[in-house]
Structure 1
Amino acid sequence: MLFILASLAAIAALFVHINAKKKFNKAEATFSLIGFLVALFIAFAQLFTVIPAGHVGVIDFFGNVSDNTLYPGVNLVNPLANVVKFDARTQELKEEMTVPSKEGLSVQLEISLLYSLSFQNANKIYKTVGEDYVDKIVVPQFRSVVRGVTSKYEARALYTAEREKLAKQIEQELTTLVGPRGVTIEAAALRKITLPPGLTASIEEKLKAEQESQRMQFILEKERLEAERKKIEAQGISDFQKIVSQGISEQLLKWKGIEATEKLANSPNSKIVVIGSGKEGLPIILGGDK
């Protein structure tokens, strides 16, 4: 529309300029010339459009939407067409809602959805949904999916590590619904969960009991392993003693006794050595300096 108005203004200014020159009216001719140049510049500028970074443009020519989308930067377009600009950057949708659990309990949930518009499918979503696609498809589908998923889980699952699994399921189901329309789901994060007070206390007690049970199992397993270690150690000592006892003979003992006697006899503390008077014929050592 602006292109048409600027073009008409340029034609009118040119017409005034020509008439002013014929009448030798220099002031009117000068002003009309300036008006002509300004209007011509405005009309020429309509041949180009600037798409900001992180945005995408859709060309709507009197209801005929082009299959080609405009990417960030300067783009040459039909001056008579309307360029609709969409924000394709990551957007955050925050929702606070009351959702049902598998047991039928009401849970207060605060959840964030990160999504973005696909560059390639911007024209599709403009043709099928419109510029307010967030309010028409993203928000309703998001709320519906969250309630549907939470109803499959017990309330305690929202309070434990299973919440990550729940969030992932919300993301997957929502992607199935709005992904083909041109909306990319990046993440669904559970920010805050408020359970009924009595249920919260019950869950905390149960988790505490489970942790205590796991701790006792760890202690029992540790004691079992320690008992097993001692058993193996005792078995090793027993086997060693058997091997040593089998290797010691009467002749070896006598020989070791003779060697010990020789060492004692050579010791400066030895006094009297009686040969052959001891048990098994071993020497007897009597006396000795302290």
Structure 2
Amino acid sequence: MLFLCVLLLVAAVVLYLVGRAQDGGGWKLGAAISAVAAVLSGIFACVHVVSAYEVGVPVTFGSVGEPLSSGVNLSSPFTDVTTFSTRPVDLNLDGKDRVEVRSAEGGVLYADVTVKWAVVPKDAVRLYQLAGSEEGVQERLVTPDSREIIRNVFAQHTSEEGYASAREQIGTEIADLIKKRLSPRGIDVTAVNLRNVRPSEKLQDQIDAKLQQEQATQRAEEAARTAEAEAKRRRIEAKGIADSNKILERSLSDKVLYNQCLEAFKEAAKSHPVYASPCGAGSGGSPVIVDGTKN
């Protein structure tokens, strides 16, 4: 716009000189129009419009001024304004940009992370000095710092914690560290989402082998516990039988056997015409059953 203003001003002077030399009214009219256009161009060159949800950083002859808020701003026609969006921006570290990390054991994992960040308007000048533009902020500050922190956090955890048991904790640690790193630079990190973590093929093979070994060990331990329980049951059963036999042996005296013999004869006599002699020869002999139906 400033170049156009100068060009129109030069054209106005030339037209005026030509018109004066030739005493032509048309040339003078053209000079007047060019002069008015030059003035308008100069005015517009001093006006900088910053869109909503943006902040402008003015630079005049290499000197950086105070941030310009959204709306119409007046400044020198020699001022160049660089704008930064204040809306949240998503940095997606996935696909070919996913983060390759190593656990404390050296296992390789791949993490998909989204970092949501925004420029703090009052710190736009600092970001301009550090990165030069909004794209530079993400490429030079947010992306490299985020990747470094993600790798450092995973390096403090085991592989199993990284893809399973401690994912939520790891995500919280990453978010806290990224916010702490970028906040002093004028970058407001509103959210960090650890979306997915998966092991490399080599690590996955190691995980599968370990799971198979653990399952085999569990089956062997279960079989050993079952065998031990069965052996214990049999020992208890054998001891019970032995104790029962000892009790029975102590209780089977001659008098007891004699009484049992008599009881047996009494039961037999109820259904068969038999009679019993005293149990054995004498008072303690074997019983003799006599069948009265036979001669």
What band does the TM-score fall into relative to the shorter chain? 0.5 to 0.7
Would the alpha carbon gap of residues 202 and 118 (structure 1) be closer, same or farther in structure 2, given more than 3 Å must change? farther
Q: CA RMSD in A?
A: 2.7
Extract unaligned runs of 5+ from structure 1: 206-290
Extract unaligned runs of 5+ from structure 2: 213-295
Runs of 4+ in 1 over 6 A off after TM superposition: 202-205
Q: Does 1:46 align with 2:45?
A: yes
- Post-superposition offset of 1:121: 0.4
Pick the aligned partner of 2:186 from 182, 189, 202: 182
* In 2: Cα distance, 1:139 partner to 1:84 partner: 21
Pick the aligned partner of 1:197 from 201, 204, 215: 204
- Post-superposition offset of 1:158: 3.4
- Which structure 2 residues correspond to residues 234-273 of structure 1 after superposition, within 5 A? none
Contact kept, 8 Å, 2:11 with 2:34, in 1: the verdict is no
Would the alpha carbon gap of residues 39 and 200 (structure 1) be closer, same or farther in structure 2, given more than 3 Å must change? farther
Secondary structure of 1:33's partner? helix
Would the alpha carbon gap of residues 23 and 93 (structure 1) be closer, same or farther in structure 2, given more than 3 Å must change? same
The residue that corresponds to 1:76 in the other structure is 74
Contact kept, 8 Å, 2:15 with 2:30, in 1: the verdict is no
Q: Does 1:153 align with 2:126?
A: no
- Post-superposition offset of 1:188: 1.3
Secondary structure of 2:191's partner? strand
How many aligned positions are there? 205
* In 2: Cα distance, 1:183 partner to 1:97 partner: 21
1:111-161 C-alpha deviation (Å, 9 max, x unpaired): 111111110001012124422232222211111100001111222333346
Would the alpha carbon gap of residues 76 and 199 (structure 1) be closer, same or farther in structure 2, given more than 3 Å must change? farther
The residue that corresponds to 1:283 in the other structure is none
Matched residue type, 1:26: G
TM-score (norm 1): 0.63
- Which structure 2 residues correspond to residues 271-282 of structure 1 after superposition, within 5 A? none
TM-score (norm 2): 0.62
- Which structure 2 residues correspond to residues 33-182 of structure 1 after superposition, within 5 A? 33-66=32-65, 68-95=66-93, 96-131=98-133, 132-160=136-164, 162-182=166-186
Which structure is larger by alpha-carbon Rg, 1 or 2?
2
* In 2: Cα distance, 1:49 partner to 1:3 partner: 12
Q: Percent identity?
A: 23
* In 2: Cα distance, 1:125 partner to 1:135 partner: 12
Secondary structure of 1:145's partner? helix
- Post-superposition offset of 1:204: 8.9
* In 2: Cα distance, 1:86 partner to 1:109 partner: 29
Contact kept, 8 Å, 1:7 with 1:40, in 2: the verdict is no
Contact kept, 8 Å, 1:55 with 1:88, in 2: the verdict is yes
1:155-193 C-alpha deviation (Å, 9 max, x unpaired): 233334632221221121112222111111111111222
- Post-superposition offset of 1:44: 0.7
- Which structure 2 residues correspond to residues 200-215 of structure 1 after superposition, within 5 A? none
